[in-house]
Chain A
Amino acid sequence: MSGNWVFVGAAFAVTWAVMLGYLVHVHRTMARAQAQLDSATAAGRR
């Protein structure tokens, strides 16, 4: 593997780390919000 490919590989790895990292962040935020909504709705019914 040439030195150039180390930088190319790092660039693509960083790109996917950011893409997947942000995807996970959004899904976690959504799941947390949905749990809060379900909890608040259940509390409101009691």
Chain B
Amino acid sequence: MSNAAIAPAIAVPRTGGWQKFGWFAFVFLIGSQALAIAISPPDRDMGDLQKIMYVHVPSAWMTMLAPLALLFFSLRYLWRRHEEDDLLAAAAGEVAVAFSGLTLVLGMLWARPTWGVWWTWDARLTSTLVLFLILAGFLSVRALIDDREQRAQWSAAVGILGAINVPIVYMSVRWWRTIHQIQSSPATVDPAYVIGLRLNAFAFLFVMIYFIRRRYEAALIERAAEHVAERAALGGSA
């Protein structure tokens, strides 16, 4: 076995600042949810069901943002071939799976009392499900391929495929007018709900950034452990 087969050394980062950021993100999330629930009046049509908007919509936005981070790091890996980019893509992909799964479940919880069904093959729901399945495939590829470079290349390809689906998810409500409403904006949302939605969107964004960073740090430590173990097995210094 040559040294080329040994995992290259990757510096393990200091994490103190990010732990503080994590506390900030979760406290901000609690405050945003409490404020949004407290200040928003029941909607004329949906009543208190409107409050699901404060978790479903930010989660849906993160479902589109996280794959864009995955796209960025995947492309950067294919360009530079730095393993850090592959690990960042892996972290973004895992977080994207969590948010897309959450979005689907929250959508079902909102659909049942408003549409009368848990699920319908609406274009937005179906395209989001396809995105979730591609992202799950991304994690499967990473779990199934042992060779480091092959895993990085193949998963980057699947990650890019998933990200290509994001514009389809976004535009699905305009291209195929079915049951899901079109995108909301401050112009179409009642002013009583805008501040709560904005605060929760930022809270979800902060949590998503924190998750990606911490998952990346965990992957760096895993790689450092592999590197030291391989060095030790070959009789080299750790």
A-side interface residues toward B, CB under 8 Å? 2-5, 7-8, 10-12, 14-15, 18-19, 22-23, 26-27, 29-30, 33-34, 36-37, 39-41, 43-45
Contact of A15 with B106 in the complex, beta carbons under 8 Å:
yes
Chain B, 203-234, contact with A by CB distance < 8 Å: what is the 0/1 string? 00001000100110111011011001101100
The residue of chain B having its C-beta at the shortest distance from the C-beta of A21 within the complex is: B98
Most buried by B among A11, A30, A34, A36: A11
| Interface contact A15-B51, CB-CB below 8 Å | no
Is the CB–CB distance between B221 and A33 below 8 Å?
yes
Residues of B within 8 A of A33 (CB): 218-219, 221-222, 224-225
A20 to chain B, nearest CB (A): 9
* A19-B207, A41-B228 known; A30 vs B47 contact (CB < 8 Å): no
Q: How far is the CA of A23 from the CA of B180 in the complex (A)?
A: 31
Q: Are A5 and B48 in contact (CB under 8 A)?
A: yes
Partner of A44, one of B26, B102, B215, B238: B238
Indicate whether A30 sits within 8 Å of B49 (C-beta atoms), given known contacts A14-B102, A18-B101, A44-B232.
no
Does A10 lie within 8 Å of B109, measured CB to CB? yes
CB distance from B66 to the nearest CB of A (A): 12
**Contact indicator A40/B228 (Cβ below 8 Å):** yes
